[in-house]
């Protein structure tokens, strides 16, 4: 250990430096998450944190964090603590800060001062070059901390002085759009907190290669965290908007619910258990749409999964790897990326005329099955390829036939991957609207559920089995949601019904996800035990 480093540790300056940088990282991550939440209206500017409003909290934290980060960089540059900064932060980082500076300069010049295009472009270029110079020319500790801290302080000052207040809005010149404070302020806070957290993370590791690695890890972690936060914010947003309608009128008790097979259920959930002939009836419900969605998903899986897995087994285990298999691979990738409306047009032109020339549940199942088939084939092939060849070789060494090896060894090992592909596809097919409008849609608010089980009839003449329910148009949650929006989502009742339908659709999709994840976990555990 060097003498200077020992002195820093004894005097406590090194630990103070680390504590400060760690504190800034924690505050930055917290501010980043609250900024994402405010952008999705999960939290509002009136939300109280430590007795102060969220807007003011953002401002104070950014100013304090920005000042602290600059202090960390200056302390490193003056040698108050032992660090190992490089000579420069690098052109890629300078380019990022240059883009931020150029955008900020151009927006201020064009939108705030209404300068001409030549003038504000010149200001934008000068601001970008100035930010690049401030970032790249100094040593790494200054080049990392001063621009990041300056951005945080500038954004905090803009919010604290009321330049961008809670009632602020922005109407860009020559653009028919209005940006309001929650979105703009949330984006500014998220971006500035991200840069100041990155700079503090580099400082906590003493800059240099370790600092760059720590900063990169932090950015990747925040990226993953932001995706999770956005997903959680979207779900929370839908729950907040639709929960009141979905939970309206729930009663529990012995015999209060509808009867199934002559037995009354112990719960009455009107929105989920009622049928409805429109939005504005006394107690609307979505049961027919729920059952339509469930039958679509089940039928699609029963149609696509056996075909997809069977094709994957042939292409992976039997077919010679060459031009044919490459052609199939390119074709399946293209089919999976084909817009859903194209599948709907195919169903309307090819399937509907062959099933009584009318929309039907069976047409919807087949169209969505064709959509799911490429994904099942792609993921199944990858899962089969991931099975080690040693499994096949060991089975063949025992005298087991190729089919028995595939059935008893390869498929069980690949099954978790196959289920993963099905899980990914269920979310898409359960929420599709465009194909259903063309091949399946009947009344958006039917008065009865599709009785698929009870409609089966068997005979001694071809086709030996018929099912009128499969050949009848029905509704589904995405189609009903579309019909609700087009019927007048501006009305209070329609708006509440629409958000309630969206929440139920989300719960149905998540339920299928949960079933798929449980199955995948079961087969994976069974594989490990064996």
Q: What is the pLDDT of residue 171?
A: 75
Q: Name the pLDDT band for 12 (thresholds 50, 70, 90).
A: very low
Interior angle at CA 221, CA 215 and CA 222, nearest 5? 90
* Digit-coded pLDDT (tens) for 184-201: 888 888 888 989 999 999
Q: Which helix (H) or strand (E) holds 406?
A: none
CB 62 within 8 A of CB 31: yes
Query: What pLDDT, on a 0 to 100 scale, did the predictor assign at position 5?
Result: 43
- Predicted confidence (pLDDT) at residue 50 exceeds the cutoff of 80: no
Question: Quick one: pLDDT band at residue 14, thresholds 50, 70, 90?
Answer: low
Predicted confidence (pLDDT) per residue in 347-374, tens digit: 999 989 988 888 999 999 999 999 999 9
What one-character-per-residue DSSP string does 436-472 give? Answer: HHHHTB--SS-SS---TTTTEEE-SSTTSEEETTTTS
pLDDT of residue 7: 41
Confidence of residue 263 (pLDDT cuts 50, 70, 90): low
- Within its chain, how far is the Cα of 109 from the centroid? 35
Residue 345: pLDDT over 90: yes
Q: Which pLDDT band, with edges at 50, 70 and 90, does 443 fall under?
A: confident
How many angstroms separate the CA atoms of 397 and 104, rounded? 68
pLDDT digits (tens, 9 = 90+) for 457-473: 887 777 777 778 888 88
Confidence of residue 377 (pLDDT cuts 50, 70, 90): very high
Residue pair 203/211 in contact by the 8 Å Cβ criterion: yes
Name the more confident of 345 and 44.
345
The residues with which 179 forms a beta bridge, in sequence order, are 170
Chain centroid to Cα 435, Å, comes to 23
Tokens representing 502?
């969206």
For position 374, what pLDDT does the model report?
92
Burial code (b: 16+ CB inside 10 Å, e: under 16) for 231-257 equals eebebebbbebbeebbeeeeeeeeeeb
Task: List the beta bridge partners of residue 48.
Answer: 53
Given this model, what pLDDT does residue 168 score? 75
Distance CA 113, CA 110 (A): 6
Q: Is the pLDDT of residue 493 over 90?
A: no
Q: Largest alpha-carbon pair distance within the chain?
A: 97
Q: What is the pLDDT of residues 276-293, one digit of tens each?
A: 766 666 667 888 889 899
What is the C-alpha to C-alpha distance for residues 12 and 6, in angstroms, rounded to an integer? 10
Contact 379, 420 (CB under 8 A): yes
d(CA 437, CA 453): 24
**253 phi-psi bin (left φ>0, alpha ψ -120 to 50, beta other):** left
Q: What is the mean pLDDT of residues 38-48?
A: 71
Per-residue pLDDT at 104: 82
What local confidence, expressed as pLDDT, does residue 364 receive? 92
Return the bridge partners of 466, or none: 457
Q: Phi and psi for 455 in degrees, rounded to 5?
A: -90, -5
For residue 467, what are the β-bridge partners?
456
pLDDT at 146: 92
Question: What tens digit of pLDDT does each residue of 31-40 get?
Answer: 888 887 777 7
Helix pair angle (140-160, 117-136), 10° resolution: 130
Q: Is the pTM of this model over 0.85?
A: no
Indicate whether 219 pLDDT > 80. yes
- Give pLDDT tens digits for 100-130: 888 888 777 766 666 677 777 888 889 889 9
User: Does residue 238 sit in helix, strand or coil?
Assistant: helix
How many Å apart are CA 337 and CA 343, to the nearest integer?
Answer: 11
User: Mean pLDDT, to the nearest integer, of 152-161?
Assistant: 85
> Percentage of the chain surpassing pLDDT 90?
17
Per-residue pLDDT at 2 exceeds 60: no
What would the two tokens of residue 1 be? 């250990």
Return the closest-CA partner of residue 167 out of 189, 146, 185: 185
Band (pLDDT 50/70/90 cuts) for residue 302 is very high
Asked whether the predicted pLDDT for residue 175 surpasses 70, the reply is no
Residues 449, 480: Cα–Cα separation, whole Å: 14
Report which secondary-structure segment, H or E, holds 53.
strand 52-53
- Give the contacts of 96 (CB within 8 A, at least 6 positions apart): none
Confidence bin at 310 (pLDDT 50/70/90): very high
Preceding peptide of 463 cis, ω within 30°: yes
Q: Across residues 296-301, what is the average pLDDT? A: 92
Mean pLDDT of the chain: 83
Q: Is 405 helix (H, G, I), strand (E, B) or coil?
A: helix
**Among 175-184, 203-212, 278-287, which is the least confidently predicted range?**
278-287
Residue 418 CB partners (closer than 8 Å, separation 6+)? 305, 309, 376, 379, 380, 383
What pLDDT sits at residue 363? 92
In this prediction, residues 235-261 reach a mean pLDDT of 76
Q: Which pLDDT value is given to residue 13?
A: 43
């Amino acid at each position: 250990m060097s003498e200077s480093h020992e002195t820093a540790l004894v005097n406590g300056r090194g630990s103070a430096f680390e504590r400060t940088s760690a504190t800034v990282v924690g505050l930055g991550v917290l501010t980043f998450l609250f900024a994402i939440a405010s952008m999705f209206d999960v939290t509002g500017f009136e939300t109280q944190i430590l007795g102060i409003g969220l807007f003011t909290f953002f401002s104070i934290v950014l100013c304090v964090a920005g000042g602290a980060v600059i202090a960390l960089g200056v302390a490193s540059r003056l040698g108050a603590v032992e660090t190992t900064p490089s000579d420069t932060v690098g052109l890629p980082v300078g380019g990022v800060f240059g883009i931020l500076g150029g955008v900020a300069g151009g927006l201020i010049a064009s939108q705030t001062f209404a300068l001409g295009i030549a003038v504000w472009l010149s200001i934008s270029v000068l601001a970008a070059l100035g930010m690049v110079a401030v970032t790249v020319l100094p040593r790494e500790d200054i080049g990392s901390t001063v621009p990041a801290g300056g951005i945080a302080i500038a954004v905090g000052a803009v919010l604290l002085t009321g330049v961008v207040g809670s009632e602020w809005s922005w109407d860009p010149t020559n653009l028919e759009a209005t940006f309001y404070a929650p979105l703009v302020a949330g984006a500014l806070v998220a971006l500035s907190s991200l840069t100041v957290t990155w700079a503090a993370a580099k400082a906590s590791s003493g800059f240099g290669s370790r600092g760059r690695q720590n900063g990169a890890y932090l950015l990747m972690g925040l990226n993953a965290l932001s995706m999770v936060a956005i997903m959680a914010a979207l779900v929370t947003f839908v729950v907040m908007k639709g929960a009141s309608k979905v939970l309206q009128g729930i009663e529990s008790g012995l015999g209060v619910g509808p009867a199934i097979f002559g037995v009354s259920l112990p719960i009455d959930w009107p929105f989920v258990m009622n049928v409805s002939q429109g939005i504005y009836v006394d107690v609307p419900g979505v049961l027919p749409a729920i059952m339509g969605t469930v039958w679509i998903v089940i039928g699609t899986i029963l149609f696509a999964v056996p075909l997809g897995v069977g094709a994957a087994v042939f292409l992976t285990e039997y077919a010679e790897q060459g031009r044919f298999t490459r052609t199939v691979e390119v074709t399946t990738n293209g089919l999976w990326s084909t817009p859903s409306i194209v599948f709907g047009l195919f169903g309307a032109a090819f399937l509907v005329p062959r099933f009584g020339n009318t929309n039907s549940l069976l047409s919807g199942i087949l169209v969505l099955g064709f959509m799911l088939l490429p994904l099942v084939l792609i993921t199944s092939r990858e899962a089969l390829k991931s099975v080690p060849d040693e499994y096949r070789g060991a089975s063949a060494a025992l005298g087991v036939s190729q089919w028995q090896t595939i059935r008893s060894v390869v498929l069980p090992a690949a099954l978790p991957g196959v289920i993963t592909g099905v899980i990914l596809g269920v979310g898409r097919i359960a929420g599709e609207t465009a194909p259903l409008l063309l091949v399946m849609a009947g009344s958006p608010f039917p008065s009865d559920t599709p009785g698929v089980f009870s409609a089966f009839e068997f005979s001694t003449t071809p086709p030996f089995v018929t099912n009128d329910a499969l050949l009848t148009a029905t509704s589904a949650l995405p189609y009903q949601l579309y019909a609700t929006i087009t019927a007048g989502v501006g009305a209070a009742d329609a708006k509440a019904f629409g958000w309630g339908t969206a929440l139920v659709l989300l719960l149905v999709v998540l339920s299928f996800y949960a079933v798929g994840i449980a199955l995948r976990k079961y087969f994976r555990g069974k594989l490990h035990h064996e």
